[in-house]
A and B are shown apart, each in its own frame.
Chain A
Amino acid sequence: MFDFLTHDMLAVIWFFLWCVIWGVYFIVDSFSLGAGLLAPFIATDKVQRIQIQRSVGPFWGGNEVWLILAAGGTFAAFPLVFSKMFTFLYLPMMLLLIGLVARGISVEYLHKEDNPQIQKVLTWGWFAGSLLISLVLGVASANFFKGLEIASGGVYKGTLLGLFGLYALIGGVLFVLMSVTSGALWINVKTEGAIAAKAGDLAKKSTPIVFVLVLVYLAYSFVGIEGFTTNYSATPALYLLPVFAVVAAVLAVFFAKKDKGFPAFCSNLLALLFVVQSGLASIYPYMLKSSVSLEHGIDIFEAASSHMTLSIMLGGALVFVPIVIIYQLWVYTLFKEKIKETEQVNY
């Protein structure tokens, strides 16, 4: 299969797919993460909490699978990168794992338990899990763009504390706030009544902050991160990515102000997508960039699987990813009704 493609070409295609899959995961999970981040704060009573929960309930599980696909795809297409990224970032990955389990269990069990005490614990579990996930993802991706401390011979010199530099912290805060905004706008779009209005107001306040942070983060990337501009100088068309990110962030502010929830929601997602892609575009051909010296990084050609594995996986992805997207979108249409305050809850 795909014999007309060379191994290097397949590796490049897979790097592209890798960026797409991670990008999809970041945006589709952002609104369930945001809903979790907001749940303990903006819901004033049980009715509102259930509205928030029902706004993401049918979707979050399917969305999270994009993360498993991203991890599994990395394993299959770039085993060396899979091994090294999880080994180097051992503790952050464990934190991410605990965040994912805590979030999943909390959100699934929230509606199975009437005891107010336990509901409180689960609501906070949902919040803590969501915070951990978005923070770790933000900090980790900033470190990917900046480069990990990989010394000669592929030896990792980094420490846990060393991952939390200024750039990474901005990245972390940006991810958390973008998730919050995404969640607020989703609640605004999917629900009716007081909670929808409250979420809309919150987005009016958060979108300008996100816009400023996007600017700061991108500016820092281009000015303060070594080697960030190399690919951009070679291929100026790439500058469209950060430009799109900024434009989308501006549009999010604009639409949120005009109370146009859905366009604002989409703009915010695009801003997140293009921020991530701006960073990923800078590291190519490396997947694990080294901040010590470029040549110590792990590039896609070195990490890629065999021609056979890459082409089988490509065939599989080309057939099944569209099918997945179609039925996931179909499920969204099954729950297109807005969630009312008066609606009976029967599950």
Chain B
Amino acid sequence: MVELLLLSRLQFAITVAFHFLFVPLTLGLALLVAGMETTYYKNKDETWRRMADFWGRVFKINFAIGLVTGLAMTFQFGTNWGAYAEFMGDVFGPPLAVEALLAFFLEGTFFGAWIFLDRSRQKLKAFSMWMVALGTNISSLWIITANGFMQNPVGYEMAADGSKVLMTDFFALLTNSYVWYMLVHTLLSAYLLTAFLIMGICAYHFLKRNNNEVFKKSFSIAVTIALATAVMLPVLGHGYAQYVAELQPAKGAAMDAIWETGSSVPMYLIQVPDSSTGSNSVQLLGIPGLASFLYTGSFSGTITGLNQLPQAELPPVGMVFWSFRLMTILGSLFIIEALLGLYLQKSGKLYTSDKYLKLLMWSIPLPYIAITAGWIVAEVGRQPWLVYGLLKTANGISSVPTSDVLLSVVLISAFYLILMVFEIYLIKKTVINATGVE
């Protein structure tokens, strides 16, 4: 049973992490490419057509793999999380079905149209891309609505026999405050990732002294988005942290490894939590009251420590803490890089600042890491609950033979690895090869 639970979680983690490698770029790039297509339609400027072509090629490769790996998520709610599906179906099924109906159909139908429409039908081509962008962004609303219920159950009642939840208020699912915090946070980080990917690719070409208009224009759009999103994320993230700390005290306390209840809690710049002793083995450079401020909005606010919370309901503290730290450190780096980029571009030194350009190239993976870390905070931080306060993760799995799940974990991992290699090969080739751009 323990092995089955571990394997089921492992498989879900692999498939969802892999799927989500492709989702953020899809969300951001769809909007940008749509904008490029429309601009070209309006001004007939070849630079914009080349931009739409170049980033469109990147979009196609990325979108295709995101689309097909998304199927795995729907399937696994039944194959591996059958008990969860039965418990949650009444509430969780509708957002998924509506997502298919409102979002996936738009994406799937108009992605094909956009690819195969040629430039003689530019208006339709641009329209199709807008539909794809609309579909992908609507999709995030519905999946986060579904996830929001797992984090903060609302608009439901328990069935008389306690076997499942029943929906009582669909509108409440949609207006769940968790959903809107998370939606904004997720979309902003997706746009940030897109901006950094574009900046990194442009940097590669600037380093090759390939300073053509396509990359120059793309860079200036991307750096603006990067700065705006990088600044907005922590500003809004602050409110979000405060909200989470109220909603799920254990997750909140784990994010900063606060073990003991207290007021005016400092935040330590250097800190190593140790779950076995229920304390920090290292804590240095404390900023007085900062943790209290971040969690409660007041420097003297009281935070409930992990040691004072029900011990059976704590998440793995180390994993949540380090993921949260990593995300915030990367978030600060993004602001610095974006500011620097804007300054260098305005002062005209950008194309010769090789060190900065190299930094940008190597920064392409960082938003991916930050997003995955953020996801770990949200989902691992909710453990041991699958549906917060209602269903434990251990009670959500399907009773299938362990050997079957082992087999599928191996099969899927091998298969995804091949896909990954192939995808990187294609993206690399597309991105390096700037023919048609010059």
Contact = CB atoms under 8 A, between A and B. Distances in A.
Interface of A: 54, 57-65, 67-69, 71-73, 75-80, 82-87, 90-91, 93-94, 96-98, 100-102, 104-105, 108-109, 112-113, 305-306, 308-309, 312-313, 316-317, 320-321, 324, 327-328, 331, 334-335, 346-347
A104 B119 CA distance: 25
B112 A60 contact: yes
Contact of B83 (A82, A83, A97, A313): A83
B116 A54 contact: yes
Interface string B51-72: 0000001001100110111011
A100 B64 CA distance: 12
A191 to B, nearest CB: 14
A82 B85 contact: yes
Interface string B346-361: 0000000000000000
A321 B83 contact: no
A62 B64 contact: no
A87 B404 CA distance: 11
Contacts of B400: 87, 90
B-side interface mostly: helix
9 contacts: A60-B112, A68-B100, A72-B96, A75-B92, A86-B75, A100-B71, A105-B68, A305-B90, A306-B167
Contacts of A313: 94, 97
Contacts of B104: 65, 68-69
Nearest to B407: A91
A13 B187 CA distance: 37
Contacts of A94: 75, 79, 407-408, 411-412
Given A80-B89, A94-B411, A104 B68 contact: yes
A71 B422 contact: no
B113 interface: yes
Contacts of B72: 97, 101
Given A105-B65, A105-B419, A83 B86 contact: yes
Contacts of A104: 64, 67-68
Contacts of A109: 61, 64, 422, 426
B412 A335 contact: no
Interface string B151-195: 000000000000010111010000000000000000000000000
B112 A59 contact: yes
B97 A112 contact: no
Contacts of A64: 108
Given A77-B93, A309-B167, A83 B415 contact: no
Given A72-B97, A308-B167, A79 B90 contact: yes
B72 to A, nearest CB: 6
Given A82-B85, A83-B398, A75 B116 contact: no
Given A77-B93, A87-B82, A108-B60, A101 B419 contact: yes
A347 B116 contact: yes
B399 A87 contact: yes
Nearest to A111: B115
B71 A316 contact: no
Contacts of A69: 97, 100-101, 104-105
Nearest 8 Cβ contacts at the A-B interface: A79-B89, A86-B78, A76-B93, A62-B109, A108-B64, A104-B68, A83-B82, A72-B97
A288 B61 CA distance: 39
Contacts of B408: 90-91, 94
A98 B411 contact: yes
A101 B92 contact: no
A112 B419 contact: no
Contacts of A62: 105, 108-110, 112
B97 A76 contact: yes
Given A69-B97, A331-B113, A79 B105 contact: no
B204 interface: no
A242 to B, nearest CB: 30
A71 B405 CA distance: 20
Contacts of A112: 57, 60-61, 426, 430
Contact of A312 (B83, B170, B401, B422): B170
